[in-house]
Structure 1
Amino acid sequence: MTPTEQRVCDFALQYPEKVIHFTISELSKAAGVSDATVTRLCQSVGYHGYPEFRVLLARDLANPQQMNSGELRVTDAADDIRDKLIAASVQSISDTRYTLDVEALCGSAACIARAGRIDVYGIGGSACVAQDICHKFLRLGIAIVAYSDVDLMSISSAMLSSRDLAIGVSHTGRTESVVDAIRRAKTGGAKTIALTHNPLSPLAKSSDLVLQYAARPTAFSNDSLSGRLSQLVIADLLYTLIAFSSFDRSAQLIDQANALANKRRLR
């Protein structure tokens, strides 16, 4: 490590309980370094950035053995596998409390509520999350379409203007077609939101607002699986914030949607 990076490490090891509550600027000031030094250190030791470092530090302080207790083994019985996979998913959602920026969350909800038109882009596993977002916001009377086809994403993103909004869903933040669509939408003047695990990814850097979630990998299941549950939780948070911002109108629209759905259900 460089001398300045070592100062950050020394401070974190000496005052871990303080660091978990510090913003990156507060930590850099306390350690006498720049924000860039903190970010560079976190990346050099294997984290995506400072938010992930802070989350895992908080988790280790709460339970130092937790990192190893959930590891799957080939000798595990079915109930052990069940318990460990569920625990990993629950932990990812819990950790998202620390990675998700509340200002970005509220800002995203406000952008969605006032947008003239919204496009949501997602490929592969993220496509189902994009569809879930579309389904939720349609219930609130919001004009929104989810796209997973690359050609349609290209066409639709080129049609967006300053009145519109584009949301890119990508766990890695490196899905080329999603990043291209977000960049194209932004070029046209649209507001852009990234829903991703990686705040330093091309998708995050191309977006106006970043909704970062936590994810935890297990054997035979990469971290995008547990991350998908965190993505859905963030979609629920946005849905609830928007609904509460115009409660009476939202309640009426949701009642109408529920009534239509009930007509199609078998008794």
Structure 2
Amino acid sequence: MTDTVTQNEQPGRTVELVRVNLNSLSLAERKVAEAILRDPVAVIHLSVSELAALADSSASSVVRMCVSIGLRGFQELKIRLARESFSTEKQVLAAIDPGDTPPSAARKVIVGTAAALEQAASVIDFNAVARIAEALRGAKRVLFCAVGTSSPVAADAAQRMVTIGIDARHVADVHAQHVAARMLTNEDVLFVISHTGSTTETLAAARAAKAAGATVVALTSFSASPLTEISDDVLVAGTAETAYRVEAMASRIVHITVIDAIFVVLSLNDASAVRHQRLAAGIIIEHRI
């Protein structure tokens, strides 16, 4: 059997790293590796479940393949492929050139984010927006769950829901979040926000809430992921940005906008929500000069 070539021995050449280790992999891992070699750029846009389906394999085999060739996991594979597929000067934003002036670069970032929102609007299931809003309205408690760069989105969502009378909260610590999810009941909702839908901590919380009998809903950027398999209802709102900057700000803005849409749907023609908003506004005024 061929010895595994580690990433340190082949720096910056992930496709070659996959190729040279092909014969050392198990059959299931080799199927994943062959799928990567067929179209490495396409892998940048896939979730772990989507790559597994493409390779006629499993999500666990995808992760094992990554570890077998010396990577930490699937996300590192995507990051490396993205960096190697696009020139360094275009990693921040595909349309930005080295000769751009600061005003020009700034404008392109904003225009690119606007395009991401427009793209998201063309594919979002707005019936799912309405269903999830109804689930939140009927819940006794709502726990917003997220980690990493999605955590501020969840914290903002929880705070906004409180202003319209929904008993919502976000627990930042991952261990406390896991415990809180397990303490939910069949009257409660766990709202998971995860760009990839494959973060270990959020999946643990989702499974815990499911075991407790709570309704699990999700906001993510990929239509197929471990999270979508667990959730009772899913909102997919992603962007093409992973081609050049992995988990950049545009996806967060798209997710915040989706939360805003849910907030508006919940507030629409709801006398109780309006009353709570007025109470919240009165409190906020007290903190301004």
- TM-score of the superposed pair, with normalisation by structure 1: 0.71
CA displacement 1:108-155 (0-9 Å, x = unmatched): 000000101111111111110001101110001111110221111111
Q: 1:88, 1:218 within 8 Å by CA — same for their partners in 2?
A: no
Partner of 1:249: 272
Q: How does 1:113-152 map to 2 (within 5 A)?
A: 113-152=137-176
CA distance in 2 between counterparts of 1:88 and 1:103 reads 27
CA distance in 1 between counterparts of 2:127 and 2:41 reads 28
Q: How does 1:5-20 map to 2 (within 5 A)?
A: none
Q: 2:197, 2:221 within 8 Å by CA — same for their partners in 1?
A: yes
Please list every run of 5 or more consecutive structure 1 residues that lacks an aligned counterpart in the other structure.
Answer: 1-42, 50-68
Q: 2:222, 2:238 within 8 Å by CA — same for their partners in 1?
A: no
Q: 1:71, 1:219 within 8 Å by CA — same for their partners in 2?
A: no
Q: 2:116, 2:254 within 8 Å by CA — same for their partners in 1?
A: yes
Q: Which deviates further from its counterpart, 219-228 or 104-113?
A: 219-228
Whether 1:259 and 2:282 are equivalent positions in the alignment is yes
Q: Which of these residues, 87, 98, 102, is aligned with residue 122 of structure 2?
A: 98
Partner of 2:102: 78
CA distance in 2 between counterparts of 1:109 and 1:218 reads 28
Structure 1 ranges of 4+ moved more than 6 A: none
Q: CA deviation at 1:180?
A: 1.0
Q: 2:195, 2:222 within 8 Å by CA — same for their partners in 1?
A: yes
Partner amino acid, structure 1, of 2:115: Q
- TM-score of the superposed pair, with normalisation by structure 2: 0.66
Q: Which of these residues, 218, 228, 231, is aligned with residue 255 of structure 2?
A: 231
CA displacement 1:57-109 (0-9 Å, x = unmatched): xxxxxxxxxxxx95222222111211111111101111111221112111100
Q: 1:100, 1:212 within 8 Å by CA — same for their partners in 2?
A: yes
CA distance 1:171–1:244, shift in 2 (3 Å):
same
CA distance in 1 between counterparts of 2:288 and 2:282 reads 10
Please list every run of 5 or more consecutive structure 2 residues that lacks an aligned counterpart in the other structure.
Answer: 1-39, 48-92
CA distance in 2 between counterparts of 1:219 and 1:100 reads 20
Whether 1:167 and 2:191 are equivalent positions in the alignment is yes
Q: 1:88, 1:216 within 8 Å by CA — same for their partners in 2?
A: no
SS at match of 1:217: helix
- Percent identity over the alignment? 23
CA displacement 1:7-41 (0-9 Å, x = unmatched): xxxxxxxxxxxxxxxxxxxxxxxxxxxxxxxxxxx
CA displacement 1:207-256 (0-9 Å, x = unmatched): 1111111224289743431000001101101101011152x221111111
Whether 1:192 and 2:241 are equivalent positions in the alignment is no
Number of residue-to-residue matches in the alignment: 205
Partner of 2:227: 203
SS at match of 1:120: strand
CA distance in 1 between counterparts of 2:196 and 2:283 reads 37
Q: 2:220, 2:237 within 8 Å by CA — same for their partners in 1?
A: yes
CA distance in 2 between counterparts of 1:75 and 1:261 reads 45
Whether 1:179 and 2:206 are equivalent positions in the alignment is no
Partner amino acid, structure 2, of 1:156: A
Whether 1:155 and 2:179 are equivalent positions in the alignment is yes
SS at match of 2:170: strand
SS at match of 2:268: helix
Partner of 1:107: 131
